[in-house]
Amino acid sequence: MTALSAHPGRSALHRFIGGYGQEIVVLLSIVALFVVVGIINPRFLSDTNINSIFAGNAYIAIAAIGMSMVIIAGHIDVSVGALIGVIATIAGTLAVNGYPVWVAWVVPILFAMAVNAGVGALVAYTRIPSIVVTLGMLSILKGGLISITAGEWISDLPTEFMIAQMRPFGIPSAVYFMVLLTAVAALFMRYTDFGRSIYAVGGNMEAARAAGINPERTVVGVFILHGLFAGIAGILFATQLQVIQSTVPPNLELTVITASVIGGVSILGGTGTVIGSTLAAILFACIGSALIFLNVSAYWLRAVLGLLILATVLADMARRRRVT
Amino acid sequence: MTASRLLRHETILGVLTVIALIVLASLSDKFFTAENLLNQGRLMSEVGLVALAMTFVIVTGGIDLSVGSILGLTAILLGVFWKNLGLPLPAAMVLALACGTFAGWVNGLIITRFRVPPLIATLATLALYRGLAEGISEARSVRGYPEWFFFFGQGEVLGVPFQLWVLGLATIVAAVILGLTPFGRATYAIGANETAARFSGIRVDAVKLWIYTGAGFCSALAAVIFVSRVTTTRSDMGTGLELDVITGVVLGGTSIFGGRGTIIGTVLGLILIQALKNGLALSGVKGDGTIVVIGLVLIGAILAGALFDRNRGG
Amino acid sequence: MGARAMQGERAGDATAEDRAALPIELRAVSKSCAGIKVGNTVSFDMRPGEVHALMGENGAGKSTLIKIMAGLHQPDEGQILINGEPVRFSSPRDAHAAGIATVHQELLLFPELTVAENIYLGQTPKTPLGAIDWPAMRRGARALLQSLDSGDLDIDQKVTTLSVGNRQRIEIARALAQDARVLIMDEPTAALAEHDVQRLMSIVRTLCQRGVAIVYVSHRMPEIFALADRVTVLRDGQHVATRPVCDVDEPTLVSMMVGRSIDRLYPAKQGQDGETVLELRNVSQRSVVRDISFSLRRGEILGLAGLVGSGRTETALTIFGITPATAGDILINGRPVKIGSPEAARDLGIAYVPEDRGHQGLIRAQSIAENIALANLKRLTRGVIVDMTRVMAEAKQAIARFGIRARGPDQLVRQLSGGNQQKVVLGKWLATNPRILIMDEPTRGIDVGAKAEIHLLMRKLAGEGMAILMISSELPEVLGMSDRVLVMNGGRIVGEFDKVEASAEAVGTVMTRSYSKDDAA
């Protein structure tokens, strides 16, 4: 106690390190990974590889922003992977059927927000645990997608639809989206009442109510925002390849949740930042790519992911136990 | 009588199942044949075995999302032990079962010792176990099992599929443990009020550890039967199994908040789902369309349960 | 209504103009909670800058009164006036708007947010663009804490890591940020260490100088005499009196609170005490139970008195194995034993009837029979199967023996009244055939008739040779039931009285004294 109170006005740097500990750890891990793998295999640092790491995984980072908000509010969503698959398919179908490009972009995003508004309302007002609602939603979206499309690929997509493949100033547009959305979300979470109320609801729902926040409305709002980010992620996912596979990308929800958790979002709610989840999504992409360049089978990627989540969760629990 | 209160949901569900069977039988004359029904029973067995264990897990107020991954991992290990390490198949089976059980025990340990919420703990091991299965197998499948091994998944005893006997026996054992033994009483007590259970001298952590270990064992057993039925081993086996299992258990009247549920209910829930799947398939709905129905049924069942609880002022 | 307005005149000593300046006034309010009338036509007012102590035993109606002022309850009858104007609070927000803030006993903070944010949440300063103005918020938080003499608190610290005393200062700062004119402090020192208590008292004085009126709820006499200007005493939901503190002394206050000191008849002792069955030698549990030594004999009822947070319940939890002892020895029948879990305690013949019936004592969603069987599963099992016939038989026997008013052993516990629920807990534990029975607040929230039944039962059990350790916050109960009284304060035993010596004044004084760490030994 006394050690802490000895410096009441901590320096800005100290404050920064204290507030962003996990984010700094993840960032340093990325740097270390680049250095080590780059020394072993310099091709890892080639333009093509770095581009593919960032551009190819930007959609995961963007989905993880919304997921982080959901987890900070004390909930979880395991249906996001299926939702992204559905969005990609809707977008592709609209695009090949001659609808204007902006319709093909915007309608799926609105659809995602509507679906998540429903999920959020169920979670907030009926008090059914979010894991159950989203498990159900996962199977509805997944089953619906496969049974309607019969797994047929969508090809011959119009070029102007392929937003993820555009490269303003030589940098893939997906990277712009990732950076921009992370920055906007970070500012939103820090500088708006709604952003702070997400933390408050996840941290102590009854205290939030006593402070004049409506926890139910906050939860519905968070899920709608999550739908917005998942929608944008879905559009980027749809447009990064020449075809859309009309399936649910395997384990996408897990990758997204893991990015949030490793980025410092406590699974018990109330704490974390969206910058951390974006960094963690990049870290995964780097690990996946590094495994290939180190000649380790990519099949171990998921085991590494699982271990990382477990280690992070255990560390989080240990930290909480130490504090209380 | 206590039982009558608990069985109310089961009675409704039983009636519902009978109605569904009658409707489905009238829609397709292929539905109500002995051959079709036994075949459906065969398909239900793996989910059924895991659902029995999951009933205990959910009654304590927990959840286990890793059952599908344990199934996949056990299947892979079975193949690896037999083909790559050259163990005799019976030894490989026993060893694989032990590994699956150990995976369940690890879940229990993370949950009881480190106080990680079950949802998170098993979400992490879902990724870990599936990842191990993928890493160990490197996407190669194992085939060429000897003929006698297919008995577990394809054989019949007295005209009834072997795994239906296993499921039947396991159902009786589970029903006795949950309904009649001190262990079962402790399971309900933990789910209804963990603090009061501990204050009454129940060994809460030990009971939970047993239950998650049991879920690992049941998943491993289902893996062996699964491999025997489909004659091959792949690392993606059992993907999404947790959803089918949880749906069955919850539809069977087990409260997702813990403290309430029966084995009979779970079995009825499983039968209803399997009948719906089969009936829909027979009347022309494609395989994946039935997943939509399962999802709707899951949310609907819990929503109904939540509204029912609220009306009772629980 | 007209008659009630007349009653307002009774408050007497303030003129009409004075009254217009009163930050809050309650006129003859009453409120019924679950059929029991709490806060029966109580009148209460606050003057700017005064500390008004609110005293009374548990269940006297203090918390109801506080909740009415904080807008959590709406009074059934009577009026609330702010600056002389009648108002209605339909939610805590209305009370906030009227300048009334509360520092809760269980502090309502956000553990993962910083100190500055916790102070301002819900009313954050904004930049012209509508974004949260963090620099302004941090400046404001620092200034507020400085004005509370707590400038040493790090405003960027997450609240999780702070001590109770510091968290409380944050709550007070939050009330000031809301511009509160009335601050309700509900037992603010119950969980504080001694140096934090001193600090809190100086903060309270600072607040008064700024004109904030403080409702100060506490049991601790020294604080009342050091801080308060006036004191209001409640008893059984009735307003006993409001007096200037300089007009009363400690014994007067205690007797006002206790009132009917021994006006109810407690059952007389039966038989003689036997040999010692439980002995504690220098038992400690971290820092909450410190160096406790006592012995308990067959047939004896030993009362454990003390304020909330004094370590009574914690001592019981240590004996019962929920929080095993970290030092010292526990002896049962003269043999040292190790109690590491409740099942170990139960197997040694210890039973614990916990203070929080709904949370710790019962599974309310289950039946009487299931609850009674829970601690006795081993004994009620034949082979591997629980013998339902015997479970039912035991439940019926308990229902008959304790006079539990229920339709039958299948009735759900949550449908029973408080007294009957308590009898189920007792039934569960007596079915284990214990030799030592610990009862924590045995009659809390129970109506008078059931109370007497439980007291009679305790006496009967003691007469049959049971050793009973009773924890109670109700002084008359402690004095009436106990053969011997131990008083705890700050985790230690600070006094022992036998039946003859134990008077309300003597025990009350030791209980409420503030001890510094050294002379508590």
C60 touching B (Cβ < 8 Å): no
Flag whether A42 is in a domain.
Answer: no
Better-predicted residue by pLDDT, A10 or B14: B14
Closest in B120, B132, B290 to A313, CB measured: B120
Q: Which CATH architecture has domain C2-258?
A: 3-Layer(aba) Sandwich (3.40)
What pLDDT does residue C2 have?
Answer: 39
Q: For C435-450, what is the mean pLDDT?
A: 83
> Is there a contact between B198 and C342 if contact means CB atoms under 8 Å apart?
yes
User: Percentage of chain C surpassing pLDDT 70?
Assistant: 89
Contacts of A188 in chain C (CB under 8 A): none
Contacts of B137 in chain A (CB under 8 A): 299
Q: How far is C223 from chain B (nearest CA, A)?
A: 36
Average pLDDT taken over every residue of chain B? 87
Average pLDDT taken over every residue of chain C? 82
pTM, entire model: 0.81
What pLDDT does residue A246 have?
Answer: 74
**C37 has a pLDDT exceeding 60:** no
Closest in A8, A213, A271 to C154, CB measured: A8
**Minimal-distance CA residue of chain B relative to A319:** B114
**Minimal-distance CA residue of chain B relative to C414:** B314
Residue range C262-349+434-521 in CATH 3.40.50.300: yes
Q: By 3-state DSSP, what share of chain A in percent is helix, strand and coil, each rounded to 5?
A: 80, 0, 20
β-pairing, C230-235 with C238-244?
antiparallel
Query: How far is residue C27's CA from residue C85's CA, in Å, rounded to a whole number?
Result: 12
Q: Comparing C2-258 with C262-349+434-521, is the CATH topology the same?
A: yes
Which of A42, A204, B231, A28 is CA-nearest to residue C167? Answer: A204
Report the range out of A128-137, B59-68, B138-147 with the highest average pLDDT.
B59-68
Contacts of C410 in chain B (CB under 8 A): 1-2, 5
Q: How far is C236 from chain A (nearest CA, A)?
A: 29
Closest in A199, A210, A271 to C108, CB measured: A210
- C91 touches C71 (CB < 8 A): yes
Flag whether A100 is in a domain.
Answer: yes
**C5 has a pLDDT exceeding 70:** no
Contacts of C149 in chain A (CB under 8 A): none
Contacts of B196 in chain C (CB under 8 A): 359-363, 374
**Minimal-distance CA residue of chain B relative to A268:** B117
> Is there a contact between A303 and B307 if contact means CB atoms under 8 Å apart?
no
**C59 has a pLDDT exceeding 70:** no
Confidence of residue B314 (pLDDT cuts 50, 70, 90): very low
pLDDT tens digits in sequence order for chain A, 324 residues long: 333 443 444 566 666 666 677 778 788 888 888 888 888 888 888 888 888 888 888 899 999 999 999 999 989 898 898 899 999 889 888 888 888 888 888 999 999 999 999 999 988 888 788 888 888 888 888 888 887 877 778 877 777 777 777 777 877 888 888 889 999 998 888 888 888 889 888 888 878 877 778 889 999 999 999 999 999 999 988 888 777 777 777 778 888 888 888 787 777 777 788 888 888 888 888 888 888 787 777 788 788 878 888 887 887 777 666 654
Chain B contact probe: residue of C374, C376, C414 with most B CBs at under 10 A: C374
Q: How far is B131 from chain A (nearest CA, A)?
A: 4
Q: For B38-54, what is the mean pLDDT?
A: 92
Q: For C194-214, what is the mean pLDDT?
A: 84
> Is there a contact between C385 and B185 if contact means CB atoms under 8 Å apart?
no
**C104 has a pLDDT exceeding 80:** no
What pLDDT does residue A8 have?
Answer: 45
Flag whether A194 is in a domain.
Answer: yes
Query: How far is residue C369's CA from residue C411's CA, in Å, rounded to a whole number?
Result: 8
Task: Collect all residues with Cβ–Cβ distance below 8 Å to C117 and sequence separation of at least 6.
Answer: A196, C110, C124, C137
What pLDDT does residue C272 have?
Answer: 78
Q: Give me the CATH number covering residue A223.
A: 1.10.3470
- Which of A19-28, C260-269, C360-369, C466-475 is predicted least confidently? C260-269
> Is there a contact between B298 and A317 if contact means CB atoms under 8 Å apart?
no
**B229 has a pLDDT exceeding 80:** yes
- A113 touches A227 (CB < 8 A): yes
Longest dimension (CA), chain C: 81
SS3 C212: coil
Which of C364, C359, C441 is CA-nearest to residue B196? Answer: C359
Residue with tokens 């107020």, as numbered in its chain:
B61
> Is there a contact between B290 and A143 if contact means CB atoms under 8 Å apart?
yes
Closest in C109, C117, C122 to A212, CB measured: C122
Query: How far is residue C148's CA from residue C151's CA, in Å, rounded to a whole number?
Result: 8
What pLDDT does residue C466 have?
Answer: 92
Report the range out of A18-27, B227-236, C391-400 with the highest average pLDDT.
C391-400
Confidence of residue C189 (pLDDT cuts 50, 70, 90): confident
User: Percentage of chain C surpassing pLDDT 90?
Assistant: 24
> Is there a contact between A142 and B288 if contact means CB atoms under 8 Å apart?
yes
Both structure tokens of B272: 């209803």
Contacts of C96 in chain A (CB under 8 A): 212
Both structure tokens of C178: 């809301």
**B21 has a pLDDT exceeding 60:** yes
**C41 has a pLDDT exceeding 50:** yes
Q: Which chains touch B (3 or more CB pairs under 8 A)?
A: A, C
> Is there a contact between B196 and C360 if contact means CB atoms under 8 Å apart?
yes
Contacts of B242 in chain A (CB under 8 A): 135
For residue A266, count CB atoms less than 10 angstroms from its CB and return exposed for 0-12, middle for 13-18, buried for 19 or more: buried
Closest in B185, B193, B196 to C373, CB measured: B185
**C52 has a pLDDT exceeding 80:** yes
Q: For C78-93, what is the mean pLDDT?
A: 81
**Minimal-distance CA residue of chain B relative to C348:** B201
Closest in A129, A131, A299 to B134, CB measured: A299
B189 touching C (Cβ < 8 Å): yes
What pLDDT does residue A10 have?
Answer: 55
Q: Which chains touch C (3 or more CB pairs under 8 A)?
A: A, B
**Minimal-distance CA residue of chain C relative to A15:** C156
Closest in A5, A191, A203 to C113, CB measured: A203
**Per residue in C282-313, pLDDT tens?**
999 888 888 999 999 999 999 998 877 788 89
Report the range out of B112-121, C89-98, C187-196, C216-225 with the highest average pLDDT.
B112-121
Tally of structural domains, chain A: 1
> Is there a contact between A301 and B306 if contact means CB atoms under 8 Å apart?
no
Q: In what order do the strands lie in the sheet with C36-46?
A: C85-87, C77-82, C24-33, C36-46, C238-244, C230-235, C51-55, C213-217, C182-186, C100-103
Closest in A8, A187, A270 to C152, CB measured: A8
Flag whether A47 is in a domain.
Answer: no
Domain boundaries, chain C: 2-258, 262-349+434-521, 370-432
Flag whether A52 is in a domain.
Answer: no
Contacts of B288 in chain A (CB under 8 A): 142-143, 146-147
Contacts of A266 in chain C (CB under 8 A): 112
> Is there a contact between C365 and B195 if contact means CB atoms under 8 Å apart?
no
Both structure tokens of C148: 């509370």
What pLDDT does residue A321 have?
Answer: 67
Q: How far is C174 from chain A (nearest CA, A)?
A: 10
Q: CA-based Rg of chain A, rounded to a whole angstrom?
A: 20
- ipTM value, please give it: 0.83
B199 touching C (Cβ < 8 Å): yes
**B14 has a pLDDT exceeding 50:** yes
Q: How far is A109 from chain B (nearest CA, A)?
A: 21
Both structure tokens of C308: 């909330």
B195 touching C (Cβ < 8 Å): yes
What pLDDT does residue C317 have?
Answer: 93
What pLDDT does residue C6 have?
Answer: 38
Query: How far is residue B62's CA from residue B120's CA, in Å, rounded to a whole number?
Result: 11
**C387 has a pLDDT exceeding 50:** yes
**Minimal-distance CA residue of chain C relative to A16:** C156
**C520 has a pLDDT exceeding 50:** no
